[in-house]
Amino acid sequence: MGSRSSHAAVIPDVDSIRRETGFSQASLIRLHHRFRALDRNKKGYLSRIDLQQIGALAVNPLGDRIIESFLPNGSQQVDFPGFVRVLAHFRPVEDEDTDLDPKKPEPLNSRRNKLHYAFQLYDLDRDGKISRHEMLQVLRLMVGVQVTEEQLENIADRTVQEADEDGDGAVSFLEFTKSLEKMDVEQKMSIRILK
């Protein structure tokens, strides 16, 4: 598999993928290469186990959720277009992305979509809201053992209340966006090599 023989032609539907994700040809080739490297049995898709094999993901507190995000709607596998589609969220925002054609769908790497990717990592039950419970779960993953459960609950309460504007005790996507409006999401949710 080390051969760099993979050309763009090898990738099925390369043009539509490019259009959808905005990746450059070179990036797509590299990603395809990576995809095939991860795909152990040459199945043509990645299973959950394939993704779990990535060593560092095991120590990532959000690793499982991120693997989950690659697998759409409970299915156990992801094909190359799906794989690239998820990664396209992390493509840096470039100048040509900003002059939006209103007819075109919003590019996957727009601020909104980047935020939405992060949001759905929190929102486990997909009800469009981060409940207090969901917030607590994330916090538990992120904060580690140093902080007691009681303190975690306090933090979770406060975090939710801080963002919660309509007083329903949960953070909707709109509220999530608002709480981060001062943050440079475009920068913080982009990886340079994914051009």
Where do contacts with another protein occur on this chain (CB under 8 A)?
Answer: 31, 34, 37-38, 51, 54-57, 59-63, 66, 70, 87, 90, 92, 117-118, 121-122, 138-139, 142-144, 146-148, 150-151, 153-155, 157-159, 161-163, 167, 169, 171, 176, 179-180, 182-183, 185, 187-194
> CB-wise, 61 or 128, nearer to another protein?
61
CB within 8 Å of 139: residues ≥ 6 apart: 152, 155, 156, 159
> CB-wise, 129 or 176, nearer to another protein?
176
**Burial class of 130 by CB neighbour count within 10 A (0 to 12, 13 to 18, 19+):** buried
CB of 184 vs another protein, minimal distance in Å: 8
CB of 9 vs another protein, minimal distance in Å: 22
Catalogue the long-range contacts made by 27-30 (C-beta closer than 8 Å, 24 or more residues apart).
27/193, 27/194, 27/195, 28/84
CB of 169 vs another protein, minimal distance in Å: 8
> CB-wise, 20 or 30, nearer to another protein?
30
How crowded is residue 161: how many other Cβ atoms within 10 Å of its Cβ?
13
Strands (E), 37-189: 46-47, 77-78, 129-131, 170-172
Q: How far apart are CA 98 and CA 92, in angstroms?
A: 11
CB of 17 vs another protein, minimal distance in Å: 16
> CB-wise, 14 or 194, nearer to another protein?
194
> CB-wise, 9 or 56, nearer to another protein?
56
Looking only at the bridges linking them, the beta strands covering 77-78 and 46-47 are antiparallel
* Residue 79 CB-half CA count within 13 A: 6
CB of 119 vs another protein, minimal distance in Å: 9
Q: Which two tokens stand for residue 160?
A: 């939710």
CB of 130 vs another protein, minimal distance in Å: 10
> CB-wise, 8 or 103, nearer to another protein?
8
